[in-house]
Structure 1
Amino acid sequence: MPSVSPTPSPTEPSPTVVELRPSYNIPLVLVVAGIPIGFLNLWVGAGVALFGLFLLFQAATLRLQFTATDLDVYRSGDRIRRFPYSEWQNWRIFWTRVPILFYFKEINSIHFLPIIFDPRTLQQLLEARCPRRD
């Protein structure tokens, strides 16, 4: 008889490591917006579209992983940065209705990231693992 694993109860802790799914919304909007802008000004439209393509590439290759103690950034499976929550002073997601930018401040640096990841999960994980200190 096959064994059936019990479904997790709502009281069980969340997984230790959570990887955010990519969100292609902002890159695609920029690529599409570059077309009509290009009719008004070719260079500006091309710049907007190229920036959208750059963000599309970043969304496809970068991954954010939330661990119990750190936010890790991976590119193609290799960790490229680690941000320990203990060094965070504040964080914020700008324009929560249409999230486009994620900001966080560490003791020695400030970081701005475009929202190229699932914004709802990002906010839930930030609130759970690194409560805001306004």
Structure 2
Amino acid sequence: MTQSPTTSGNVPSTGTIQLAPSYALPIALVGIAIPLVWVQPWVAGIVAVFGLFLLFQTVTLRLLFTETALDVFRGETLIRRFPYQDWQNWQIFWSKVPILFYFKEVKSIHFLPILFDPKMLRSCLEQRCPRA
């Protein structure tokens, strides 16, 4: 995380912020799959594979909040840029146990599993892309 002056909490007011990964969702899915093996083995397999897929995504993807956009990186490669000026709305579903992040751009909508620090995600969104 880039060190810069802060405006609220511990979110820098300028510079680029890289969100820390959160392994809670993928580990929970794999954990749910274990006892599910005795009830529905094929469903347990699907849940476990999905949890492992999300674990891989958590390890390889990085979200960076820049001054002008949310950037998604895989390793050192920028795979997508979402300029804030195109955002119309955003929402983090299930605040107590955040598992899904939604945002709407002018021409598309996006749903992302919460694979990053949800508190920092919310802080960055409130600061960089405040809701009207």
Aligned partners of 2:30 and 2:51 also within 8 Å: yes
Q: Which has the larger radius of gyration?
A: 1
Structure 2 match to 1:130: 129
Distance 1:38 1:111 in 2: 32
CA distance in 2, matches of 1:103, 1:56: 20
Structure-2 separation of matches of 1:57 and 1:9: 33
In the other structure, the counterpart of 1:16 is 15
Unaligned runs of 5+ in 1: 1-7
Give the Cα–Cα distance (whole angstroms) in 2 for the partners of residues 132 and 79 of structure 1. Answer: 26
Counterpart-to-counterpart distance in 1, 2:5 and 2:70: 26
Letter in 1 for 2:73: Y
Give TM-score scaled by structure 2 length.
0.91
Once residues 9 and 75 of structure 1 are traced to their aligned partners in structure 2, the CA distance between those partners, rounded to angstroms, is 28
**Matched residues, number:** 126
Rounded Cα–Cα distance in structure 1 between residues aligned with 2:131 and 2:18: 21
Q: How much does 1:43 deviate? A: 0.4
Partner of 2:68: 69
Per-residue CA deviation, residues 75-120 of structure 1 (Å, 9 max, x unaligned), is 0111000000000000000000110000000000000000000000
Offset of 1:15 from its aligned partner? 3.8
Percent identical among aligned pairs is: 59
C-alpha distance in 1 between matches for 2:82 and 2:44: 35
Taking structure 1 as the reference length, the TM-score comes to 0.89
Q: Distance in 2 between matches of 1:48 and 1:15?
A: 40
In 2: Cα distance, 1:110 partner to 1:117 partner: 19
SS at match of 1:80: strand
Whether 1:79 aligns to 2:60 is no
Structure 1 Cα separation of the partners of residues 102 and 44 of structure 2? 27
After TM superposition, where is structure 1 displaced by more than 3 Å over at least 4 residues in a row?
A: 8-11
**Counterparts in 2 of 1:9 and 1:102: CA distance versus 1, 3 Å:** closer
